[in-house]
Amino acid sequence: MELSERAGKIIATLKKAYPDAKCSLAHEEPLQLLVATILSAQCTDERVNKVTPGLFRKYRDAKAFAEAPPGELEADIRSTGFFNNKAKSIRGACRLILEKHGGQVPDTMEALLELPGVARKTANVVLGNGFGKNEGVVVDTHVTRLSRRMGLTRQKTPEKIELALIKLVPRADWALFSHLLIHHGRAVCDARKPECEGCCVEKWCPKTGVK
């Protein structure tokens, strides 16, 4: 079976298995998603979602984040870890959003990558889930692990994995594909003990099915 055909079957099956798959970071608009994504680095989405409701009530726009008093924003996000660096990125990103984009999160890859603390993964999250724009595939630890385990790529770096996946996954599914793998990784395809028996895509996985 050709790799592209196998990838298509995996995608179609995961869509049926996880019909409600979506971004697990709670947000109502692009700025909230940007901040939540920055906070999610080296932190679980569950923890971020416990912090952000109060955070977003306190800081309602880019100006509020940009002007957060020294130490205050850090204290508010402390439980997400690496809070000094994250606060610096959030303030810096929001200042540039105010200076160059009228207080609104930009909706292009080029502009997002200019923001402090924003690399391609974060930009893909914001574009795909905040603006409905499929400009790339989000490659996190789940996507890296499952795409390699399923034999969709042998690449090891996020940049090369993304390049491999965008050749296999239809553009309309780029944002969704990451959510499907993340949901499957959490529910079935665990890093240490994958539940291969009964897995919905087992027969298309080189680990247990198609070689």
Catalytic positions are: 121, 140
Which residues lie closer than 8 Å to 27 by C-beta, 6 or more apart?
A: 33, 36, 52, 129, 130
Residue pointed to by tokens 């009964």:
198
Tokens for 86? 């994250």
Check if the beta carbon of residue 106 is closer than 8 Å to that of residue 81.
no
Tokens for 34? 């940007």
Half-sphere exposure of 129 (CA within 13 A, CB side): 28
Q: How many helices (H) and strands (E) does the chain have?
A: 11, 0
Separation between Cα atoms, residue 48 and residue 68, nearest integer Å: 19
Q: Cβ-count burial of 69 within 10 angstroms (0-12 exposed, 13-18 middle, 19+ buried)?
A: exposed
Residue pointed to by tokens 């603390």:
117
